[in-house]
Every structure is written in C-alpha cells, then in structure tokens.
Copies of this chain bind each other. A is one copy, B any other.
C-alpha cells in the first residue's frame, strides 16, 4: 500500500472495523454504538463504544484523524518553543500537523478477565517529519502467570519478526511509561510502548510501518484468547471488591500520568472519547492492605518493573 496519510487512515478505519467485529463475537451479546464527531480546527473521529455485554462491561475502539496548525506543546515536546529557532530548521510557527490513530480500552465485567489497552498512531508535521507510535499493555485484576507469559510472548513474536532489539527496548519503555509513581506500582504487567519510530540503521519507514500494522492486528486475537481462557472462572464478592480497587488505580494512572489523556484534555479534545478509558465504576479504600499470602498480595508483588514475562 502507498504510505500516505489517507491510505494510513483508511487502513486504521479498517482495523477498527475488524477489531470491533472480533470483540462483538467474543462478547456474544453487546454491539458497538458509533458516534462520529468533527474537530472544528480540522478532522474528526469515529468513536465506538460497547457496554453491558456478557464479557465486556465497558469498552471503546476509537478512530481519529485530525489536522491543522501545530499547537505549541508539540514544539515544547521536542525541547524547543515555537518562537525559538528550531534545530530541525523547517519546523516553527505556522507548521501544520496531521495525526491519525486507533485507541482501545476494554474493561471486562469479570475480575478474572484482564483490562487491556492498545493504541497505534501516525503523526506528520511540516518539514517532512513523520512518526509511528503505539503501545499495548495488559492490566489483570489478578495476575495469572501463564496469561502474562502468553501475552508477552505474542508481542515478542511480532517484534522479533521485524527487529531483534524491539521487544526488549519497547518492553522496558512500557514498564517505565505505565508506572504509577505515587503508588510505586506498575499499572499492570506492561507490554510494549514505542514512539517517534521512523527509521534507524536497520529499518526504513516502510519496514517500521509493517511492524506497526502487525501490532495493531495482533490485538484482537490475543485479547480474544485471554477472554476465552478466563471468562467462565468463578467470581467471589471479594474478587469484585478487589476489581474496584484495581480500577481505582487505573483511574489514577489515566488522570494523573497518561500523556494521551492529558494531551486530549488540555487541547480541548472530545472529552467523552478521551474519558471512555475510565471504568463504569471504581473504588478507593483508605490504607488497604491485602491479607498475607492472598491472591491479591501475590498480584501486588507482580506489579513491578523489569519482570521477564516472555
């Protein structure tokens, strides 16, 4: 396929379609509702939400493609202000940007099924800048070691097909990114995270694009497998209480640290699309400590950086 912005966003829309179908089939009951929205400054999106299913309590699969004047913070993120001379020479005030992506968050009903998040994005800016970014990470309410191994191995397989260093590099990046600093806990068991991919000594843009596409395509079969492994496990009242506390941590991460959420809220994005990542409900209990040797304590001990799951 041609690697221009239109073909890339068409590919993403198609990924959104296929992913929604796979999730509906895995759920067996609920269907996605669609909201189309327009961004006054340029572009828009297709927000798809699924609710109150057999398996999925609340989830979103969002496509967007937006463009316009590059906002100030884009320059700041590169370490120089819009008014200062750009080290890249061609970038400065009056630059135009284009960004398209698919973002997914699924909150399952059962505490035995993990929460999952995936995002892949493509970014262009005046001056020939183009980048690929993305990430996929898993947040089990209860960490199951077999599932964690499976999840990371699936991601490693995709990475290894394209670049021998990508899994190690992007796995560490995810550990560092999906970290709740004030809790000294990772959000879940991590996954991979990458940004500003274009080319390096071994991979040209097209090769990175092929890697990026496969990450998007690996989401549905991987998560559907995790659903089918866990959806029928029995659930106690204590499991449900613990799920609320883990969801509380998810809310803390998304509202305090997540760059996509902050970016969206600060740039007057569509709030309902941005905050679809929050669960139907979440809880906080003062100074909660799990019982010694409980499943809850075991899970907390797995919420650390640097665990080799693959």
Contact = CB atoms under 8 A, between A and B. Distances in A.
Contacts of A215: none
A278 B283 CA distance: 8
A281 interface: yes
Interface centre among A183, A265, A268, A276 (most CB of B within 10 A): A265
B271 A183 contact: yes
Contacts of A281: 244, 281-284
Interface stretch (A70-78, A116-124, A169-177, A248-256): A248-256
Interface in A77-114: none
Interface in A232-287: 244, 248, 251-252, 255-256, 265, 268, 271-272, 274-276, 278-287
B285 A282 contact: no
Contacts of A51: 286
A295 interface: no
Given A278-B248, A281-B281, A272 B286 contact: yes
A251 B255 contact: yes
A164 interface: no
A292 interface: no
A206 interface: no
Interface residues of A, number: 31
B271 A276 contact: no
A58 interface: yes
Contact of A58 (B35, B274, B286): B286
A49 interface: yes
A73 B182 CA distance: 17
A265 B182 contact: yes
Given A255-B255, A256-B255, A271-B182, A280 B280 contact: no
Contact of A276 (B182, B183, B276, B286): B286
Interface centre among A60, A265, A284 (most CB of B within 10 A): A284
Nearest to A254: B255
Contacts of A271: 182-183
For the complex of A and B, 6 pairs with smallest distance between CB atoms: A255-B255, A278-B284, A182-B265, A281-B283, A272-B287, A49-B286
Given A251-B282, A272-B286, A281-B282, 9 more contacts: A51-B286, A181-B265, A182-B265, A182-B274, A252-B255, A252-B275, A278-B284, A280-B283, A281-B281
Interface of A: 35, 49, 51, 58, 60, 181-183, 244, 248, 251-252, 255-256, 265, 268, 271-272, 274-276, 278-287
10 contacts: A35-B287, A182-B265, A182-B271, A182-B274, A255-B255, A275-B284, A276-B286, A279-B284, A280-B285, A282-B282
